[in-house]
A = this chain, B = another copy of it.
Amino acid sequence: MTPPFPLPLPMRRALDLARAAEAAGEVPIGAVVTLDGRIIGEGENRNRRDNDPTAHAEIVALRAAATLLGDFRLTGCDLWVTLEPCPMCAGAISHARIARLYYAAADPKGGAIEQGPRLYAQPQCLHRPDVYGGIGGKEASALLRGFFAARR
């Protein structure tokens, strides 16, 4: 479904980062962190390039923003990502105290927000961002489908 408004700039940037990841042979996923509407951290999937099992787009973006702010907590910041976060990334988003999480495509196989372990619905969870799914979902899904189809 086409949303009734243009895609917000941070999600457009996250989609550009996903395309850059694909061009580098990585799974096409991108993420940005914003504070008061300005981008303060960016990330794309880098598992293979960096030999790093933790280098999902969200983790890369959170680390970049935290380095920039000089604080391991990103209180008041928002995260925009092209795919529903996995348990690792959902946990990192909570640790970082992200205020709002915007994601594009749902991930029935690996998502941890609105399916699977639903981490933010766990009573144990110390910090839950507000969650907005589906913004740019069509573009993000098409990117991922194209990537995996080309490798089958």
Contact = CB atoms under 8 A, between A and B. Distances in A.
Interface string A74-105: 10000000000011111110111100000000
A94 B2 CA distance: 35
A146 interface: no
Interface residues of A, number: 40
A49 B39 CA distance: 24
A63 B87 CA distance: 17
A115 B63 CA distance: 28
Contacts of A112: 87, 91
B51 A70 contact: yes
- What's the number of copies of this chain in the assembled complex? 2
Contacts of A55: 72
A25 interface: no
A54 B47 contact: no
A99 B37 CA distance: 42
Contacts of A89: 88, 91
A87 B85 CA distance: 12
A82 to B, nearest CB: 18
Interface string A101-118: 000000001101001110
A124 B144 CA distance: 19
A34 to B, nearest CB: 16
A42 B31 CA distance: 28
A21 interface: no
Contacts of A51: 66-67, 69-72
